[in-house]
Structure 1
Amino acid sequence: MRLDIEDLSVDVAGRRLVHDIALRAGSGRVIGLVGPNGSGKSTLLRCVYRALRPSAGTVRLDGADLHAMDVREGARLLAAVPQENGTEFDFTVAEIVAMGRLPHQRGAGRASTADRAVCERALTRVGAQHLADRGFLGLSGGEKQRVLIARALAQEPRVLVLDEPTNHLDIAQQLEVLGLLRDGDAHRAGSAGDTTRAGSAEGADRTGSAGGPTVLTALHDLNLAAVHCDELYVIAGGRLVASGPPHDVLTPQLLAEVFGVRAHRVRHPESGAVQLLFDRLPHPAPRASS
């Protein structure tokens, strides 16, 4: 499913936080949002998963206005893992993951055998099946994150939105979780820096459609973003400042201007993906402002 963000802006308390951002995620593609803290990434994502209504612009799924959709219909198509989980009651992990099936059930219907099988598979995919009977509030931060990702997977969405999904995870778990975004996507076995993945939008839709859902994710770790994303959108001061394949976007000049660091580009010895080594600039370049 194609995700389009068209000229989206967000005003909060009389201040514009996001300025006229346009983004296209072709079907089955993994699109990363990167930028400094406070740049507007989470605000943009909140509009995409309907926690916030944009002041201007539109979010479309295969051309249909997401904010005009019925809530249940939208939830069958799009799932989200926000930074804040908002869970105050001590549900079991199995109960949390089962909430992902609610958009597919009629009324307040009971979970079917098929629903339970979907939930079990989702927990297995994130390596959390052993937590099924544990109380959610008693879990570690990393365990909670994996459970919330399992809930989103159980929703069986066609578009998946994740805001910093690797928070609280150790490095092995980070690689496992981001690897899930590529699950079943055979053409992605190669490098994120491979220029063959940076073709036309039409071609991207064809190559991505064989895999899992379309993914839009905000990531802090630029090296993880370079390896696991088909395209990156760089946001600073609420504005889009660059977009394209990681090896085109993550240039030393951009990283100095946006992040205030000196970057050295190297290639991963196996995948060939762009990897970055950082130094502090003697006098960091000013970040783009709104």
Structure 2
Amino acid sequence: MRLDIDEVTIEASGTRLVEDIRLTVDSGAFVGLVGPNGSGKSTLLRCVYRGLRPAGGAVRLDGDDLHTMDPRAAARVLAALPQDSAAQFDFTVAEVVAMGRLPHRDRTATSDREICARAMARTGVAHLADRGVLGLSGGERQRVLIARALAQQPRVLVLDEPTNHLDIAHQLDLLSRVRDSGLTVLAALHDLNLAAAHCDVLYVIDGGRIVSSGPPHDVLRPALLKAVFGVRAHRVHHPGTGAVQLLFDLPTPTTP
């Protein structure tokens, strides 16, 4: 399923937060959204998963306006992991993951259990099924929420900083599984090296606008990284995969 963000503008309290964003995620592609803090990444993703309405433009799934779809129908094709997914009640892990099945009408107890069990196994949380989520570590809770999204059986997955709280092994495992899932994926990522290693295409957002897009090796150039992130970047290539990787330091201060 193809996702298009078509000239989307988002406003709040009279302030324009995101302006005229055009972004495409082809069916089955893994697209990364990167940019500094406050650039508009999370705001844009909230619009994609219907947390906000655009002031202009549209979010389209295979050409259909997502914001005019029936909410239940939309939830059957698009799942999201927001950045602020704090648990408020001490449901068990199994109960939280099962919430991903709620949009589906053709459910049976047996099919729900099987789908949830597969989702928990894929994210490495099956052994936590009977634990309360409030007693989990941040990384464990993050993997439970990803399992819930997978149990929803979407065709499009929207992730806002999905590697938060995860150790490096789980970061690599999660992004590899997402990449190999066959889903259409749009993810906001802080770690540029993870984005470079796993994403097919990157969009760089700064000040609420897209300033660059393309394959990671074309986008992650020292001049752009200095202008957008305020860092000096040195490009190297991963010895195993050949993917662009970056070493950073702060620019040398200029003498007045």
What's the TM-score once normalised by structure 1's chain length?
A: 0.86
Q: Report the aligned-residue RMSD.
A: 1.2
* 1:178 is aligned to 2:178: no
Q: Secondary structure at the match of 1:266?
A: strand
SS of the residue aligned with 1:225? helix
One-letter amino acid matched to 1:42: S
Q: How does 1:179-218 map to 2 (within 5 A)?
A: 179-184=176-181, 212-218=182-188
The alignment status of 1:258 with 2:225, answered yes or no, reads: no
- Number of aligned residue pairs: give it: 254
| Residue 163 in structure 1 maps to residue 133 in structure 2 | no
- The partner residue of 1:221 within 191, 196, 202 is 191
Q: Specify the SS of the correspondent of 1:103.
A: coil
Query: Shift in Å at residue 85 of structure 1?
Result: 1.1
Q: Indicate the residue corresponding to 2:82 in structure 1.
A: 82
- CA shift, 1:182, in A, is 1.9
Residue type of the alignment partner of 1:280: L
- Offset of residue 180 of structure 1: 1.3
Q: CA deviation at 1:87?
A: 2.7
Q: Give the letter for the 1:76 counterpart.
A: R
Alignment partners' CA distance in 2, 1:48 and 1:182: 19
1:7 matches 2:7: yes
The structure 1 residue matched to 2:125, chosen from 117, 124, 128, is 128
Q: CA deviation at 1:115?
A: 1.1
Query: Which amino acid in structure 2 is aligned with residue 53 of structure 1?
Result: R
Output the amino acid matched with 2:51. A
- 5+ residue gaps, structure 1: 185-211, 285-290
Q: Establish whether residue 16 from structure 1 lines up as the match of residue 13 from structure 2.
A: no
Runs of 4+ aligned structure 1 residues displaced above 4 Å come to: none
Report sequence identity in percent: 70
- Equivalent residue for 1:242, pick from 197, 204, 212: 212
Distance (Å, rounded) in 1 between the aligned partners of 2:195 and 2:180: 16
Q: TM-score, normalised on structure 2?
A: 0.97
In the alignment, structure 2 segments of 5+ residues that lack a partner are none
SS of equivalent residue, structure 2 residue 234: strand
Give me the whole-angstrom Cα distance separating, in 2, the residues matched to 1:225 and 1:99. 29
Q: Which residue of 2 aligns with 1:192?
A: none
Specify the code of the residue in structure 2 equivalent to 1:178. Answer: L
How far residue 86 of structure 1 moved from its aligned partner, in angstroms, is 4.0
Following TM superposition, by how much is the alpha carbon of 1:60 offset from its aligned partner in structure 2, in angstroms?
0.2
- Within 2, Cα distance between the matches of 1:95 and 1:229? 31
Of 147, 150, 164, the match for 2:147: 150
Cα displacement (A) at 1:51 = 0.6
TM-aligned CA distance change 1:125 to 1:62, over 3 Å: same
Note the alpha carbon deviations across 1:96-145, whole angstroms, 9 max, x for none: 00000111136xx7x52011100000000001100100001111100010
What amino acid does structure 1 have at the position aligned with 2:242?
G
